Chains A and B, each alone.
Chain A
């Protein structure tokens, strides 16, 4: 046991190269829609794929620095915290994400449905 909560674990998701630089991929887990982002410096972030404003799919937004702009109404989220930026107030769920040796993208998600 490595100290994680018992109902969460790391999942091996994909190759880093499966996600375009400054792009994203989508993933569904037990009805939860997740967007995984890759930034220009090859870090990865995962958030709930649902803008706090009107539910827009953040995976379809433009990625810049460590942020994404929602395609529907231009809300901007910091991908590391899930907090809306600028004048907007909102918070989306984030999931721990890492690139491990060999370039595999891992996410920590709940195990049970």
Chain B
């Protein structure tokens, strides 16, 4: 018989309970979830990369809506449960939803601890707990100014590094003398402080916050010693408290957290609890590994597996700040009967310390080089005796111990089967190898789906790939993951993300920092990198002409015989007698063999000799014509019909709008070419519904269409939205273009980009629904455009730019 399971909370722990349950006993439970946050289940430990810009919310979703649907789960998102009636076995939400249960799972998580100093309730004092907090921080970061982070622990430092990457000035206030004192010893804490200070983060240790001051909103923080620090936001990251109030009100046994037995059962045998709200044998948990273990046990207990029992275990820690390698595990405090092995390499900023007791490894702190973390952690958990020989070289890690060369494959091969590979999910090497065998897995994605390894924080991805290579030999192709080209292991998305996260501002910097395998790239990656850098750092990055395809380098289209074609801009497809006369004169003067109308309402002069280009351009410039960018991964044409100015059925001035759009967008570089059209009525004479972006005018306003194609693929556009004014139409189109410029992969047309990120609905969500985002995109587009609207023809016709391109060398005999 199907039992009714109600879950309060939709975080990672209950999500894992359900996953396990659906896998082992599908159809045994009919599940309803209440979630106070109006979202699906996402990976909370990856909020820091979202804050720093290295990931997006979409990247960290664990269960999308389809998952809930597929498993018949009812999700009440945005419904907070306010009471439990244990007698009648029902729960009630704030909004009045009542659900009955056979089993209840409480997973209310934790609440951030806010120090009750004066001013803690001012506007601008934030916690760091969920996506809303991240969004608030991002909004604040967009305005600039200084952020004060109170708390120099794991979360506080991730927040500080993220806000810094987002361009804010950041001060960290930490009560203790060294950072992350719970996970690091003072020496490693010092190295971390030095690294973060070096990145421009102002760190004040041994500092006590006295008050937060400001008139209605945060203006600054005053310390106990009287120091004042200006701040536009304050992030409190001093710790968390289990959220146990709901359970307490229902009369369940509660101490610091909700008390559970080793089967995750509360004092009411029908009610279970997992996650950060739980207290087990005096311990509360905040790291993901033990929480996932709780979830696994809970799912088994729910299906009456009497063997399942949760036990307290050591956990290890990593800091998710790109470029900081830090690992700690076990107990590393000094103490009677304990001794230590220390290794330092100041030049490299490496520090390693192992703590031993009774000839067993009980703790490890690694800074700067953490590859041996899993190996040490394994030894700590096993508690096996370490003899004098082994001890002598223990600090040098696994490679030295095995006497094997520094080959990652050999290192992975040498690991015992029970060695833990994925700390977040508690997955061992043996489990991964088994899964590869059993399910005939061939790629990372498969391993992630079957074992969950590498699917949470992702730091073990390299190890998992090595295991695949180990198991499959040559059959495993790491490049099955689509890389930019053979020069790199990274895909387009990773490269785009890392350019911003690591502030890489030149092609050599990207190649160095991302470990390019060739000295200067190839014809595939160089143009892509040039575009990504240009789009990421407008006004800062200097375009590298030699990384462009010939057409973009000489601003004309190369033809099969090595001559060029020249297409001047015809704004909105409109021309004049003077322009036509100038074109005719140019054709005669330079003996241009063919003149043709393009599909985009412009004139194309074909067969121009390369050395004639500057002269042709100079003459066209003189008649007021500029480059049409018919050769570029950039804005091409804005095709229009005559609209209300002439047409008896036209509803709006489509020609005028087309010209405005073209004047706004010309010169912008994009992942691939971009073509627009504006039709004056639904008869759609400008064929706007097969363009990258199309506008169809109607009586009541302007329909915005996106993601059409009429090339190798033919695809009608999706109707994005309808707006009432011309200004709104322009803003909407520019926001779409900018989003594409920021997210598109090089050589990916708008329709492919849109499909990849989730279709027109996703674009709607990002740009139509989210007004703030739309306006921000529009602003960023306008900002970037100030640097791109110089006519490349005029620059070259003057002879001052790239003169070498158009002159052949003379041979002196």
> Which chain A residues have a beta carbon within 8 Å of chain B's beta carbons?
11-14, 18-23, 25-29, 36, 40-41, 54-57, 60-65, 67, 69, 71-72, 74, 76
Contacts and interface: CB of A to CB of B under 8 A. Distances in A.
Given A19-B804, A57-B562, A62 B811 contact: no
A29 B811 contact: yes
Given A26-B808, A55-B562, A62-B548, 16 more contacts: A13-B811, A18-B809, A21-B546, A22-B546, A23-B546, A26-B809, A28-B811, A40-B519, A54-B560, A56-B560, A60-B558, A63-B546, A64-B518, A64-B522, A67-B522, A71-B551
Interface of B: 518-523, 526-527, 545-551, 553-554, 558, 560-562, 804, 808-809, 811-813
A66 to B, nearest CB: 9
A58 to B, nearest CB: 10
A18 B804 CA distance: 7
Nearest to B523: A69
A64 B520 contact: yes
Nearest to A51: B562
A111 B558 CA distance: 32
Given A19-B804, A22-B546, A13 B809 contact: yes
Contacts of B550: 60-62, 71
A67 B520 CA distance: 11
Nearest to B547: A62
Q: Report the 5 A-B pairs with minimum CB-CB distance, sorted nearest first.
A: A69-B523, A60-B550, A22-B546, A62-B523, A57-B562
A108 to B, nearest CB: 13
A54 B520 CA distance: 27
Contacts of B522: 62, 64-65, 67, 69
B523 A61 contact: yes
Contacts of B548: 62
A18 B546 CA distance: 14
Among A18, A20, A36, chain B packs the most CB atoms within 10 A around the CB of A20
A59 to B, nearest CB: 9
B520 A62 contact: no
Contacts of B812: 11-12
Nearest to B544: A22
Contact of A71 (B526, B549, B809): B549
A76 to B, nearest CB: 7
A98 B157 CA distance: 55
B520 A27 contact: no
Instruction: Point out which of A18, A54, A62 has the most chain B C-beta atoms below 10 A from its C-beta.
Output: A62
Contacts of B808: 25-28
Given A21-B546, A25-B804, A64 B521 contact: yes
Contacts of B545: 20
Contacts of A36: 809
A61 B558 CA distance: 11
B809 A20 contact: no
Nearest to A113: B813
